[in-house]
Amino acid sequence: QHARFETVTLITPTARMAPSVHGGRAKCLQRLVRLGFNVPTTVALSFDAVHEIALGKAPPVAEILEPFGPAPLLCVRPSSQDQDWGGPSAILNIGMNDARHARLCESIGEEAANALYLRFIQSYAEHVARLDPDLFHLPDTPTAEAVAAMRALYEEEMEEPFPDTPEVQLAEVLRSMARAWKGTSARLLRQSKGAPADAGLGLVVQALALGVGPGESGSGVIAFVNSETGEPQITGRYLRQSQGREALSVSSGALYITRDARGKSLEEEAPEAFAELVAAGELSRIRLREEMQVEFTIDSGRVAILDAVRLPRGPRAAVKIAVELASDGIIARDEAVMRVPASALTALLHPQVDPGARRDVVARGIAASPGAATGRLVLTAQEAQEGEARGEPCILIRRETSPEDIRGMQAAEGIITIRGGMTSHAAVIGRGIGLPCVVGAGDLSIDRQGHVQAPGGRVLKPGDWVTIDGSTGEILAGEAKLIEAGMDDSFRTLLTWADQHRDIGVRANADTPGDAQVARRFEAEGIGLCRTEHMFFEDGRIGLMREVIFSETEEESKAVLSRLLPLQRGDFIRLFEIMQGQPVCIRLFDPPLHEFLPTDKRGLKDMAEGLGKPFADVQARVEALTEYNPMLGMRGVRLGIAVPQIYEMQARAIFEAAIEAGRAGEPVVPEIMIPLVSAAKEVEVVKGMVEAVAAAVRSETGATFDYRLGVMVETPRAALRAADIAAHASFLSFGTNDLTQMAYGLSRDDAGRFMGAYVRRGVYEEDPFHLLDVEGVGELLQIGAARGRATRPDITVAICGEHGGSPRAIEFCRGERFTYVSCSPYRVPVARLSAAQLAI
């Protein structure tokens, strides 16, 4: 196939060129030539040609120079397949020597000619001869003496004459650029941007458009939309008597592109050239099917287009540009869906640190929940709530959070924890409620005075302003400038188009009415996991829950639970109402009871007082409830079987709420999910309990209702025994948080301590609580789904662990024909887009 392409190609409208052979820049230049733009003569070298040059073969200089005529002035630019993969710096003014300089003095004046000569020697010394760049300074006034001095310096350093012929200069430039591409740092850099290990480099050799000389001469860069918002807006810079992209790097002297109150503009100074550029922009947008950034020169009033690249853009602009191109019929809608990286949407849903803001990084942790937040540092949930009451934004820092901190977390703008990983309590809650969160910031410690000690002897005191960036894991000192989130029309439009291709459902994990509202707003197709225990931590309820725990008899606990019943029923009614007939999957109570108990003496005293019980009794009961390994202890279905009243109360609340919410509109069909199952018998027992409650509610109310009972597969045994479990379940939903914990034998709350070292040393590719381990945990999912389906072919199969929203998990679950994925409400848009991209 390669043989069909020349290794050295003059770019003409009909030359054979491909981005995978000559690189994206070469292909783009050819398109510009085809559009009839005034593009200087350009020759492209293929990846193969450059590769051979890097290996030592002499560059085919005679062939390259042929179309440029005698005594050419040239520039060479890199042309990698994807512009984001980078490449060596462009080198301009190749061909400059004393004779050429003398002729230039006549045509453009001595000073301008000196300036070009100096720039060439400087960049040749730095990039080709690899001399110390600090030695070669451009003087303020480009005199003939300065040129002679710089040449002499070069010759002294190199102990050889400065090369004078275009042939030698070009050969050396090509050789150095070809070699630079093979260097380790260039390779690592591009691989980090997704380039394959053997990515090729093409080079383009172009006749130099001077930009320096008499009349209106200069160079600049122009774009036609705002690179942050994507709104139409002509932007750029133009610098008289300059070359390349200098206009973008100078601190003063450049002209604005359009009229601007702050100073001169190209639009006013050279209206014809401006109009020509605007027309070029419109045409290239349509024909190149992309928003471009165009590099141009003006040479005595005549515009030349040197180069065009895809406009570098922020996430908001990425969405807007794709949608506008499709709306204008320039690209198809499915192409627009493919063009926006799913990760860009995450950035749009939360405030971000302004890219231009100063970042004073004090410490780093794991980026657990995206978005940025700024506020005053507080050390306790209580203080966060007080701050909220005063209208003062707070960032809550804890060693780790526990369910008791929920109210404070909701009150805070962001969370930092010193311990914990991607599925620690803080991380899960943070993602669930869309709260920026950095966990496992192990370099921080809180001292006895309540001061936060950071690396390098820095100290953050309560009340100090801090900013956290939950997208990078950084903790910054001070109040960094933030930019707001936007779910604008383009965003919604893009997702509507995405949904037309998606072939796997997307639900949200939502515990509260607030979560459910976010889920609706992001158009989730129901709730895939409602963790009911979170409802018990709300004000007033934790006290009732403690009364349940301290009940002496079953009657007593039932009496307390009957006071919790209307509260739970109210929770569910609100959820059903908000979700308007969409499925709502409610997980029965899961955590170990001790999570509802205080851990310190003072808390215990308060609790004893509240319960009206002797301190010693309370202390004894708390001790009795203590488990060595609570995550593997009496929680989930085990608690449901040992203390059946709790599940019975919850089932009743669900059914009564379904009847109530169904009165107003469509009947509600609740889904009830049993957590931490490891044996089919557990399901049978709970199913019996739930059926009995349903029968009782039906007979008491005379109402009819349906419900679905399913199992959360989050222990390895449940996956292995899915065939017998499926006999009693109408759906299986994989809880990959616990499943990952148990498959690896890795504590979700402690793994953060060594995860950094594990990932750095390549023991794990990534934190498996963050990125689904498709090899191991994935195999359990495959086994569970296959065995469940063998018993019950139409069984619903889903995932509801924290992995659910990630592109990797979606790809896996789609491949295994899962019915839906369920993820934090704020990840729903990302999941919808990724799922569509996989289907297109």
Binding stretches for ligand PEP (CB under 6 A): 428, 529, 531, 590, 714, 735-738, 800-801
Identify whether the C-beta of residue 747 lies closer than 8 Å to the C-beta of residue 741. Answer: yes
Spatial separation of the C-alpha atoms in residues 217 and 269, rounded to whole Å: 11
Of 668 and 823, nearer to ligand PEP (C-beta) is 823
Closest separation in Å from C-beta 309 to ligand PEP: 43
**Widest pairwise Cα distance in the chain:** 106
Closest separation in Å from C-beta 632 to ligand PEP: 12
Closest separation in Å from C-beta 532 to ligand PEP: 10
Of 571 and 738, nearer to Mg ion (C-beta) is 738
For 717-819, strand residue ranges (E) read 731-734, 796-799
531 binds, among ligand PEP, Mg ion, none (CB under 5 to 8 A by kind): ligand PEP
Size of the site for Mg ion (CB under 5 A): 3
Of 200 and 591, nearer to ligand PEP (C-beta) is 591
Closest separation in Å from C-beta 703 to Mg ion: 32
412 binds, among Mg ion, ligand PEP, none (CB under 5 to 8 A by kind): none
823 binds, among ligand PEP, Mg ion, none (CB under 5 to 8 A by kind): none
Judged by DSSP in three states, 617 sits in helix
Instruction: Return the DSSP state at 43.
Output: E
Of 380 and 402, nearer to ligand PEP (C-beta) is 402
Which entry of 51, 425, 728, 803 is annotated as an active-site residue?
425
Q: How many CA atoms lie within 13 A of 666 on its CB side?
A: 11
Q: Which stretch binds Mg ion (CB under 5 A): 80-88, 152-160, 507-515, 711-719?
A: 711-719
Judged by DSSP in three states, 675 sits in coil
Q: Is 137 marked active-site?
A: no
Our finding on whether 591 is near Mg ion (CB under 5 A) is: no
Q: In what order do the strands lie in the sheet with 372-378?
A: 361-364, 474-477, 465-469, 372-378, 394-398, 414-417, 437-439, 366-369
801 binds, among Mg ion, ligand PEP, none (CB under 5 to 8 A by kind): ligand PEP
Residue facing ligand PEP at closest CB distance: 735
Closest separation in Å from C-beta 319 to ligand PEP: 30
Judged by DSSP in three states, 691 sits in helix
561 binds, among ligand PEP, Mg ion, none (CB under 5 to 8 A by kind): none
Chain center to CA of 460 = 29
Spatial separation of the C-alpha atoms in residues 660 and 730, rounded to whole Å: 24
Of 714 and 767, nearer to Mg ion (C-beta) is 714
Q: Give residues with Cβ within 8 angstroms of 178, minimum separation 6.
A: 50, 51, 53, 54, 201, 203
Closest separation in Å from C-beta 530 to ligand PEP: 11
Our finding on whether 595 is near Mg ion (CB under 5 A) is: no
Of 682 and 714, nearer to ligand PEP (C-beta) is 714
Closest separation in Å from C-beta 734 to ligand PEP: 7
Identify whether the C-beta of residue 465 lies closer than 8 Å to the C-beta of residue 376. Answer: yes
Our finding on whether 533 is near Mg ion (CB under 5 A) is: no
Q: Is 534 marked active-site?
A: no
Instruction: Return the DSSP state at 244.
Output: T
Closest separation in Å from C-beta 398 to ligand PEP: 19
Judged by DSSP in three states, 460 sits in strand
Closest separation in Å from C-beta 408 to ligand PEP: 20
Of 77 and 531, nearer to ligand PEP (C-beta) is 531
209 binds, among ligand PEP, Mg ion, none (CB under 5 to 8 A by kind): none
573: how many CB neighbours lie within 10 A of its CB?
Answer: 20
Contact letters (x/-) for Mg ion, 742-771, by CB under 5 A? ------------------------------
Spatial separation of the C-alpha atoms in residues 415 and 368, rounded to whole Å: 10
Q: Which stretch binds Mg ion (CB under 5 A): 311-319, 460-468, 528-536, 708-716?
A: 708-716
Which entry of 394, 530, 800, 813 is annotated as an active-site residue?
800
Rounded alpha-carbon distances, angstroms, from residue 659 to 63, 513, 535, 664, 708: 83, 18, 20, 9, 15
Our finding on whether 299 is near Mg ion (CB under 5 A) is: no
778 binds, among ligand PEP, Mg ion, none (CB under 5 to 8 A by kind): none
Q: Which stretch binds Mg ion (CB under 5 A): 174-182, 662-670, 709-717, 816-824?
A: 709-717
Q: Which stretch binds Mg ion (CB under 5 A): 63-71, 298-306, 379-387, 737-745?
A: 737-745
Identify any residues that bridge with 10 across adjacent strands, giving them in sequence order.
Answer: 43
Spatial separation of the C-alpha atoms in residues 180 and 367, rounded to whole Å: 34
Cβ burial, residue 552 (10 Å; 0-12/13-18/19+): exposed
- The 10 Å CB-count burial string (b at 16+, else e) for 746-780 is bbbbebbeebbebeeeeebeebbbbbbbbeebbeb
Of 267 and 738, nearer to Mg ion (C-beta) is 738
Q: Which amino acid is at 626?
A: T
Our finding on whether 735 is near Mg ion (CB under 5 A) is: yes
Our finding on whether 802 is near Mg ion (CB under 5 A) is: no
Identify any residues that bridge with 822 across adjacent strands, giving them in sequence order.
Answer: 507
Q: Give residues with Cβ within 8 angstroms of 400, minimum separation 6.
A: 417, 418, 419, 420, 424, 425, 426, 749
800 binds, among ligand PEP, Mg ion, none (CB under 5 to 8 A by kind): ligand PEP
Rounded alpha-carbon distances, angstroms, from residue 4 to 22, 198, 354, 589, 736: 13, 21, 48, 67, 50
Q: Which stretch binds Mg ion (CB under 5 A): 130-138, 252-260, 498-506, 734-742?
A: 734-742
Identify whether the C-beta of residue 813 lies closer than 8 Å to the C-beta of residue 799. Answer: yes
Q: Which stretch binds Mg ion (CB under 5 A): 232-240, 243-251, 543-551, 713-721?
A: 713-721
Closest separation in Å from C-beta 794 to ligand PEP: 24
Identify whether the C-beta of residue 397 lies closer than 8 Å to the C-beta of residue 480. Answer: no
Q: Is 762 left (phi over 0), alpha (psi -120 to 50) or beta?
A: left
Our finding on whether 738 is near Mg ion (CB under 5 A) is: yes
Closest separation in Å from C-beta 801 to ligand PEP: 3
Residue facing Mg ion at closest CB distance: 738
Of 564 and 585, nearer to ligand PEP (C-beta) is 585
DSSP labels, 477-521: ES---EE-----HHHHHHHHHHHTT--SEEEEE--SHHHHHHHHH
Closest separation in Å from C-beta 406 to ligand PEP: 14
Spatial separation of the C-alpha atoms in residues 570 and 435, rounded to whole Å: 25
Of 643 and 712, nearer to Mg ion (C-beta) is 712
Q: Give residues with Cβ within 8 angstroms of 683, minimum separation 6.
A: 637, 674, 677, 711, 725, 728, 729
Of 428 and 585, nearer to ligand PEP (C-beta) is 428
Closest separation in Å from C-beta 646 to ligand PEP: 16
First to last CA, the chain: 28
Rounded alpha-carbon distances, angstroms, from residue 790 to 410, 505, 683, 724, 725: 44, 22, 18, 10, 11
User: What six digits make up the tokens of 775?
Assistant: 């090899």
473 binds, among ligand PEP, Mg ion, none (CB under 5 to 8 A by kind): none
Of 295 and 714, nearer to ligand PEP (C-beta) is 714
Of 800, 794, 430, 434, the C-alpha closest to 584 is 800
736 binds, among Mg ion, ligand PEP, none (CB under 5 to 8 A by kind): ligand PEP
Of 80 and 423, nearer to ligand PEP (C-beta) is 423
Q: Which stretch binds Mg ion (CB under 5 A): 118-126, 187-195, 231-239, 732-740?
A: 732-740
Q: Which stretch binds Mg ion (CB under 5 A): 46-54, 313-321, 420-428, 728-736?
A: 728-736
Residues designated catalytic: 425, 800
Binding site for Mg ion (CB under 5 A): 714, 735, 738
